[in-house]
Amino acid sequence: MNDNVRTLTVVKPPEPPPKTPQATSYPWDRAKGERSARFEMFQTYLLLGPDRSVAKAAAAMGKSYHTLEDASKTYKWRERAEAWDSHVAAKAQEKAMKDLLQARERSAVIGHNMLVRVAQKLQTMDPDEIPPSAITKLSAEALSLIERALGVGDSQPTEETERRRIIIELPSDPEARASGMKLMAELLHTKKPTT
C-alpha cells in the first residue's frame, strides 16, 4: 500500500431543526402561571358568552363561588373575556362583510347578464313587436340590480343614472324607438370604464 495516500472523509453538518412559527399569545390563552385546573375554570367562564358571570360559571362547574372569584381576580377573567368577545365580534363582522360583498358581486353579474339578454333580444326583434314598457321595465330592473349591487342604488340622481333613465324611456314613434333600441344595445355592450 502507498503510505502517501490519505483518505479524506467529508462529514456533513447536521440538519438544523425545523423552524417553528412563533406562537402568538392572546389574552384568552392560558395565562403565565395559570394552572390547568384554573384555566379550565376560565374556559368554562369564557364559553358562557357575553352575559357570563363568576356565579354562573361556579354553578355550571359545581364549584364554590369564592374559589372562582379568587381565580377570576388573579387571572383577570373579565378583561380576557372582553378581549375574546371583541375578537369574536370582529370575526363575525369580517365574515358578514365578505358575505355582503359576495352577494353584491353575484347580483351585479345577474344584472349584467339580464342586460346582455335584453340587448341580444333587441337585436333579433322587429322594433314594432316590442312594447316600450317591457323594454323599459326589464332594463330598469337590470340596471337597478346592478346599482344596488354596487351600492349606488336609491341615491341622488347622477348624470350617469339620468342618462340611463333617458335611454331606457323609449319613444313611441317607431323610427325613434328603433334608433333608441340600437343605441341601448350599443351601450349595453360597451364596458364601463373602471375607476
pLDDT of residue 47: 92
Residue 17 lies in a domain: no
Per-residue confidence (pLDDT) for residue 192, from 0 to 100: 46
> Domain for residue 21, yes or no?
no
Mean pLDDT of all residues in 7-11 = 51
On whether the CB atoms of residues 145 and 113 are closer than 8 A, the answer is no
CA dist 19 and 31 (Å) reads 25
CA distance 58 to 146: 54
Per-residue pLDDT, averaged over 21-44, amounts to 87
pLDDT of residue 157: 52
- Does the residue 62 lie in any domain? yes
Mean pLDDT for the stretch of residues 3-28 = 62
**Quick one: pLDDT band at residue 166, thresholds 50, 70, 90?**
very low
Cell of 182: 340600437
CA distance 36 to 40: 6
CA gap 60, 167 in Å, rounded: 67
- Least confident span in 4-13, 18-27, 34-43, 49-58: 4-13
Amino acid type, 71: A
Domain count within the chain: 2
Express each pLDDT in 46-58 by its tens digit: 999 989 999 999 9
pLDDT at 159: 54
Q: Does 146 lie in the same domain as 100? A: yes
Report whether 157 contacts 170 (CB < 8 A): no
Does residue 181 share a domain with residue 149?
yes
Compute the mean pLDDT over every residue in the chain, rounded to the nearest whole number. 74
- Same domain (yes/no): 127, 175: yes
Indicate the residue type of 165: R
What is the domain extent for residue 111?
A: 94-189
Residue 51 lies in a domain: yes
CA dihedral 88, 90, 92, 93 (to 10 degrees): 160
pLDDT band at 62 (very low <50, low <70, confident <90, very high): very high
Sign, Cα dihedral of 118, 123, 124, 130: positive
Question: Which residue type occupies 191?
Answer: K
The segment with the largest mean pLDDT, out of 50-54, 103-107, 148-152, 153-157, is: 50-54
Q: Please state whether the predicted TM-score (pTM) of the whole model is above 0.75.
A: no
DSSP state at residue 155: S
What pLDDT shows up at residue 99?
Answer: 87
Domain boundary among 45, 75, 105: 75
Give domain status of residue 162, yes or no.
Answer: yes
